[in-house]
Structure formats: structure tokens, C-alpha cells
Amino acid sequence: VDDAAKLIGKIDGNPKTTVDIGGGAAKDVAPSLLKKLGCNVKTINENIGKSTRGPDPTTDNLKDLIANTGSKDIGFAFDLDADRLVVVYDRKKQSSDVTLGLGVAKALELGYKKFVFSIDTSVSVEKFVTQNGGTVQRSKVGEANVIDLMLKTKAQAGGEGSSAGFILPEFNFCRDGLLTSGLIASMLGTATFNDILKFMSNYYQSRDKIAISSDLHDKTVAKLYENMKGRFSEIITIDGVKAIVDENSWVLVRKSNTEDIIRISSESNSLQKAQEIKSQVLDLVKKSHEQVK
């Protein structure tokens, strides 16, 4: 707590924060840090092992946290080991990518310029970095893969939008929701906070999945790559198949390592376009599957 508080610094204005512990490990540490920084802290679901919501805040609607967070205040929801953090602001749950985006905006403010993000992270975060003088490299999905590339490239910060995880090696070389909550709280009401939220609100994601036997995953993805060539300006194959549609739009197809499914994710600066891209590529996945059966 002391090390994090020293890195973040005192917060002016006594901002109001509501912390949804989720019955997990953040119970004492998160409120202690935020209070030490100068926040007014209210907690819910603070009893270990007891919670009105599920263990993963990225998949829960967080209705109790939303109800307990004022319209101009900020809410934080932690998972059980407090490495994932989801933000509630303006009376709504923010996307997992927003957690990373806010952490990245703070890192830029602190002077950091070299970042690594997982390949499924929102393009809005990457564009915000590059427009503010930073550079971005992409890794395979998974915290370990992000960290590995950060080490190889000597990146100063990074993370995974999909898992609501921000990594700041100066403090801790892994996702750290506790530190991130303090960094975000220090931004509340600032131009940086408002800028990144407004910037990211212009992008939309759409996701789907298709049941395909795991023994056909690799063949289906390989055939999909062949079927996608020539249709898109750029295709990236570091983890599944990712097609760059234009500067604001992409689609990613990845096999599951644990289930008989293949996942399709898309993003664009128009929800309709994101859904159309996803549907088009879903049809290509189905076609590719039929061709290798």
C-alpha cells in the first residue's frame, strides 16, 4: 500500500469511490490504498467468500455496484485475487478495455511511451497511444504472453483489454487491479480521464462463437486464412487469424484451448459495421469448417 501510494501521490478533492470487493482478496488492501490516497471510500461485498455477484466482474452486470455509485463518482469491482478490475462510471459498467485504456492514459501522463497489448485489445487504446506519441506492439492473448513480449521489448506498460488488466512493471510485472484502481482514482475529473473515455466510446465490439470439434480447429483456422487472403488489407497470424479491415476496424478468429468452439471478435467505430464484419467472417468460418470436414 505504501509503495503504491508513493507512486501515485496524494489525490486532491476527496473523490468518492465505491469498492466492490466481490468477497475476495481486495478486502483490506483496496480500501486502505484508496483512503491513503485521499479518497472517500465505501465498500460492498466486503466479507470474504460472500458476494451478491459472480467472481469475475468482467462477465457480471455489477448492478449492486452501479446502484451504490453516484453519477459523478467512480466504482471499482475486483475479481477474487484482485488482478482484474472493472470500472463503473456515469452509472454504467465500463468495458474491460476501458480499465486498460485508463491505465494507459495515466502511463502516458507519467511519460511512458512503449506499450505492449494483447492482439484482442481495442484499437481505440492503440490509437490513443500513437496519437499521444507512444508506440505499441501486439502479443498473443494471455497475460503471460503480454509479459513475455514486454520483457523482450523493454516495454514500460501494457496489458489485456479483454481481461481488464493493466501492467506497470515499475511497480509489479503482472496485472494489478489494486494499483490500477489508485491510478484511475487519481485521474477522476481530469481532462485525461474525460478524453480517454470519450475517445473509447466511439468504438464498438461484437463477439460470437461457433461449435467446432477441437480436432478440426487447426485445419479450420488454416483454411480460413486461405479464404480470407485477398479480402482484407492485412492479415496477422500471431494468434489465430486477425484481419485488419481499415484503420478503425478488425476481426479476430481464435480457437478455444479448452472447449470445442472457435471464437470470433470484431471491432469498429460503428456498432452496425462491427456486427456486419463479425457476421461475414462467421460465415467464412462455417465455410472453412465445411471444406475440411
pLDDT digit string (tens) for 208-221? 999 999 999 999 99
Domain 2-94: CATH class, spelled out: alpha beta
Q: What is the pLDDT confidence band of residue 71, given thresholds at 50, 70 and 90?
A: confident
Predicted local distance difference test score (pLDDT) of residue 81: 96
Taking residues 74-98, report their average pLDDT. Answer: 96
Contact (Cβ atoms closer than 8 angstroms) between residue 203 and residue 269: yes
Q: What is the pLDDT confidence band of residue 22, given thresholds at 50, 70 and 90?
A: very high
What are the boundaries of each domain within the chain? 2-94, 204-292
Predicted local distance difference test score (pLDDT) of residue 245: 97
| Sign of the alpha-carbon torsion through 106, 111, 117, 122 | positive
Q: What is the pLDDT confidence band of residue 230, given thresholds at 50, 70 and 90?
A: confident
- The Cβ of residue 30 has, within 10 Å, a number of other Cβ atoms equal to 27
- Fold classification of 204-292 is TATA-Binding Protein (3.30.310)
pLDDT of 270 strictly over 90: yes
| Sign of the alpha-carbon torsion through 235, 239, 240, 246 | negative
Q: What is the pLDDT confidence band of residue 233, given thresholds at 50, 70 and 90?
A: confident
pLDDT of 72 strictly over 90: no
Q: What is the pLDDT confidence band of residue 185, given thresholds at 50, 70 and 90?
A: very high
**Between residues 82 and 71, the one the model is more confident about:** 82
pLDDT of 67 strictly over 90: yes
Which residues contact residue 143 at a Cβ distance below 8 angstroms, ignoring those fewer than 6 apart?
160, 163, 165, 167, 174, 175
The C-alpha atoms of residue 112 and residue 155 are separated, in whole angstroms, by 9
pLDDT of 36 strictly over 90: yes
